[in-house]
Structures are given as C-alpha cells and as structure tokens.
Amino acid sequence: MRVLVLWPPHVPSYFNAGHHLPVFSIAAYLRTKGHHVDALDAGALNRTWKELADRLHQGRYEAVVLVNEYDVVEGVRRAADYTRALLPEALLVTVGRLSYQNPGFFHTLDLDAVVASGDYEAGTAAALDWAGAGRPPVDGLPGVHLRHTGEWHRPSAPGTWLPAEEWALPDVTEIPYTAYENLYRTDENKFCGIPERLELVAPVARGCPVGCSFCDVPPMQGLRERRLTVERTVDYIRDSFTRLPFEYVAFYAPTFTLNRGWVLDLCTALEAEPRHYPWKCATTLHHLDEELVARMAAAGCIRISVGVETFEENAEPGLPRVKRRAETRTEEVARWCRAHGIELNCFVIVGLPGTTPEGARHTMAAVKDLGARVRPTLYTPYEQMRADMTEAQLSAYNRQTFVDPEAVRATTGREPGEFLALLYGGDDYRTPATERIPTTERVRVVELLPTVDAGQPG
C-alpha cells in the first residue's frame, strides 16, 4: 500500500523534536511490513496548504496517516478535508498524543480510523491491514476506533505494546533536522533543544511507572518501561553521525535513568567509542545519585532535565511520592551537576493545584540561585477533555494559556495573568551547554540535510 505519514501544517506554540519523531518511526515500521511510505513533517518545514494539496494529488496515496497533537487540532481537521477532497478512496487514519487522551473528538472528523492505545506503529499497521483486506465489517481492532458503514466502532481490545526489539528506528536522512535546529535557535523560547548545535534524537525507551497525574506518557506508552539494548542504541548513534553532521545526542525516554544498570552500561559503551558524543537526557530527581551523575558526565552528558514541578508543600498531595521534598533534593542534584560540569534543566509547573503565583516565583528563583535552567510550563487538566469539544476548546490544551480562566479565579482567588506573567516574563539565563558541544565542520549542511519533502519509498 502506498502511504503518506504526515504531520500537518501548523504554527507551533512549543517544539520538541522527539514529539515529531513518530512521523518517521511509524514510516520506518510500516516499511518493514511491506508498505511504500513517504514521511513529511509539514509543520516544521513550514509547508503551505497548496504544497500539501500538490503532494496528495501527485502521490496518489492509498492511505494517509495524520499524526495529531494538542497543538495541531485545526491542522488535522483541515488535512483530513484536503485528503478526502483529493483522495476520496484513501484510508484516513489519525494517531498521536491527542487521540490517546480524547479519541471521541476525532469521530467528528471525516476519518476512517483513530488509533487510541498501544504503540502508534502497531495500531496504524492494524488499520492498514484492515483496509488491505477490503475493510470488512468488524466490531473493532485492538486499540483502534474504526468507521465503516457510516458508524464508529470502538476498539475490540487494548492496543498492542511492541517489544523494543520490534521498534523500527527512524531514518535520519528523511528527518528535517535543519528545520528543527532553526526552531531551537532562540534560547529564550525555553524549547528543549540546545541552540546553534545540530541534535540527533535517539529514541531509547517508552513507558514510565512514576505515575504523575499531569503526564500523558502512561496513556500513550504504558506503565511498564521498554528499552532498546545498549548495543542497538550506540549503533544507531554511530551510524547517524556518519551520515549527517550531528553535534550532540538527545536521548528520548520518559525517565532516562529509571534503569540504572542500563545507563551505566551505556556510559561504558560510549566511553569506549573512538568518537566523543555529547548528550542530554530527561529523568526524575529521585532516579539520580552522585556516582551516576559522575559516570554520565564522564561519558559525555552535558545536560540533565528533571521534573521539579514545584517547591510548594501545599501541592505535594497531588504529586507522586518520588516528587515530594523537591527543594532539598534539587539542591543536592544541582550540587552534583555543578561539580561534574552538567547543566541542570528544571521543569516547573505554573498553576499546579495548591500553588500560588508567589510560590511558583519562589520555585523559579530558587532554581536559578542554584545555577540551573528553569523551563516553566502551564498546568493543564487533560482529564477534563470531552469528545464534544470544539477545535478551539481542544487547542487550549497546548499548555500556553489556561483552559478555563474562570476556574483559576474560583479556585485560587487570583487572576490568570498573575500566573501567565511567570511564563512569559522572560529571564536573562543563557544555556552554557552550547559552548560545551564542539562544532562539526559543516560543508554546505543545507545540502546534506533534508529541508524539502523527503519521501522515502519503501
């Protein structure tokens, strides 16, 4: 089957290259199943709707997979409309973070399948198999909502979690890394990348047992962690660096140091490599210790991101046990990071239930006093999403403004703007990580990296 996996055109409010990686991971997996697949991140590439229409018409795709996100609601609807007009017989599937939280909303769009649980690749492949079999009347598929004979049918069972050995790692030559680098260029945006250095995203783990109520990882990836082998991880890094002029690695995992032994083995493997690979990761304060931080630094780690969330005691009942007493723990981890030359990047949630503007301001100031980077985000109650919401209502769940300003006033007695000022007031912090990453001699990098539609027929 000829397939297009598409991130629709849109203007991002936040950017994390790892969140866009499913476009290319899904494409790579479908190729292993015999499909001919093109992958296009039209959002990062700033593609126009006219260009997308050209691509759809000329590609003659039998299936189009729309990767959805909280930030791309309008784009998914519009891409579905374009696809239906230009390719009326094509199977139209959506998969992504938003459909795992609110699959019912997508029943309002002109789609054929909505992947809602299990791994993205497994659900998408199942929908394509169903279409390839002639779209027979079935009650549902594991993890997939299906529409046939004009009606929606809910999943027949939970979706499938693929073992790590079955993951297909994305092809770096079709990922628009120069566009991603440009989105990271302004450090004041507090995006996850490091400015002025070319990032390779290495997906190494899925799933997390920590259980934060405000996190969408468990619904998407499960509570049990699955992880690549160290050998396969290093092979992917080594191969990618020979193909394109990457300068550092971003390990993409919900809780990178959850498996301490695996991390130590990775450090040993990286230290044995002839080439030095600077890298960063995200984890929890609880899953770090001084010996581990020292080993990570020796193996090339230059930034660790952690979920500090808040230092306010009133908010602790809503946090998992491993995230309480955060202030004392942050001071300890920050000391280890300073001693070993690692930048500590702290996620702070503004507007978390039980917190105040003053408390959030104290948390952010205390983190800065430790020499760490503050990356603030806005509390968003995903559990309040409903299937009957409009595009505008769902778009508010992108962590940029409050979903319900009146609820903020009622529960806190404060104006939403007092919280928002902490997100958008700016600060003078500049990441030191850029200077810790050696630059690669780039000869016409613009010619080496994909900055145009990079279809890779299987």
Residue 114: CATH number of its domain? 3.40.50.280
443: pLDDT strictly greater than 80: no
pLDDT-derived band at 455 (thresholds 50, 70, 90) equals very low
- Angstrom distance (rounded) from CA 247 to CA 265: 22
- Ramachandran angles phi, psi of 63, nearest 5°: -150, 140
Residue 162 CB coordination number (10 Å): 18
Task: Give me the pLDDT at residue 440, please.
Answer: 82
442: pLDDT strictly greater than 80: no
pLDDT-derived band at 10 (thresholds 50, 70, 90) equals very high
Burial class (CB in 10 A: 0-12, 13-18, 19+), 324: middle
Same domain for 250 and 123?
A: no
Where residue 279 sits, what CATH number does that domain have?
Answer: 3.80.30.20
Same domain for 115 and 206?
A: no
The mean of the pLDDT values for the chain is 91
Does 158 fall in a domain?
no
Within 287-371, residue ranges assigned H as helices are 290-298, 326-339, 357-369
Does 449 fall in a domain?
no
Each residue's pLDDT tens digit, 382-439: 889 999 999 999 999 988 999 999 999 998 899 999 999 999 998 989 999 999 999 9
Q: Which of 126, 153, 180 is the last residue of a domain?
A: 153
Each residue's pLDDT tens digit, 307-362: 998 898 887 776 766 666 788 999 999 999 999 999 999 999 999 888 899 999 99
Task: Give me the pLDDT at residue 213, please.
Answer: 60
Look at the chain and report how many structural domains it folds into.
Answer: 2
Same domain for 76 and 217?
A: no
Same domain for 146 and 241?
A: no
Q: Is-contact 124 160, C-beta < 8 A?
A: no
Q: Which residues contact 189 (CB under 8 A, 6 or more apart)?
A: 15
How many secondary structure helices (H) and strands (E) does the chain include?
17, 15
Same domain for 346 and 256?
A: yes
Task: Give me the pLDDT at residue 225, please.
Answer: 84
Does 79 fall in a domain?
yes
Same domain for 231 and 302?
A: yes
The arithmetic mean of pLDDT across residues 119-133, rounded, is 97
Same domain for 270 and 418?
A: yes
Does 122 fall in a domain?
yes
Does 238 fall in a domain?
yes
Task: Give me the pLDDT at residue 315, please.
Answer: 75
Same domain for 20 and 136?
A: yes
The arithmetic mean of pLDDT across residues 71-83, rounded, is 96
pLDDT-derived band at 446 (thresholds 50, 70, 90) equals very low
Tell me whether strands 248-252 and 226-227 are parallel, antiparallel or unpaired. Answer: unpaired
Does 228 fall in a domain?
yes
Same domain for 129 and 206?
A: no
* Structural domain boundaries, residue 20: 2-153
Same domain for 214 and 130?
A: no
Q: Count of residues for the chain? A: 458
Task: Give me the pLDDT at residue 450, please.
Answer: 52
DSSP E strands, 268-397: 279-283, 301-309, 343-350, 373-378
Residues forming a β-bridge with 263: none
Task: Give me the pLDDT at residue 207, please.
Answer: 79
Task: Give me the pLDDT at residue 367, please.
Answer: 96
Task: Give me the pLDDT at residue 211, please.
Answer: 61
The arithmetic mean of pLDDT across residues 368-393, rounded, is 93
Same domain for 269 and 335?
A: yes
Give the chain's radius of gyration (CA, Å): 22
Does 193 fall in a domain?
no
Does 454 fall in a domain?
no
Same domain for 233 and 90?
A: no
